Structure 1
């Protein structure tokens, strides 16, 4: 199945893109996506551990199952001053 992943803030800066389409196995979860992205982009592995995830504009747990055409936003923690 194909999903769209949106990257924000520090994660976007580290991988140099704001979105991409990713092919995943059927019945994959947000956790499976985290594992895949950690392997594909080792430089964001730590950021992924502390990020929040939204599937189709609703916050999601790592156990949420993904479906064809879903959009997953990865929202890393931000610090302000």
Structure 2
């Protein structure tokens, strides 16, 4: 199944892109998607450790099952001053 991933903040800056697509097996979870992202982009593994995840614009935990066409947003913690 094909999943669209949206990148924000530090992840977007490191990858120099705001979106990507991943092919996953049926019954994959958010956690499986994150593993695939880390495998493809090991340079952002630190950025992904404490992210918030939204699936189709609703916050989701890492055990949530994904479906064909889902849009997953990876939102890293933001610090301000």
Instruction: Structure 2: state its 5+ residue gaps.
Output: none
Q: Which runs of 4+ in 1 moved over 6 A?
A: none
Q: Deviations over 1:7-31 (max 9, x none)?
A: 0000001111000111111110000
Corresponding residue number in structure 1 for 2:36:
36
* Shift, 1:46, TM fit: 1.2
Q: Structure 2 length normalisation: TM-score?
A: 0.97
Corresponding residue number in structure 1 for 2:62:
62
Corresponding residue number in structure 2 for 1:15:
15
Give the RMSD, CA atoms, in angstroms.
0.6
Instruction: Structure 1: state its 5+ residue gaps.
Output: none
SS at match of 2:32: helix
CA distance in 1, matches of 2:33, 2:21: 12
Corresponding residue number in structure 2 for 1:52:
52
Corresponding residue number in structure 2 for 1:71:
71
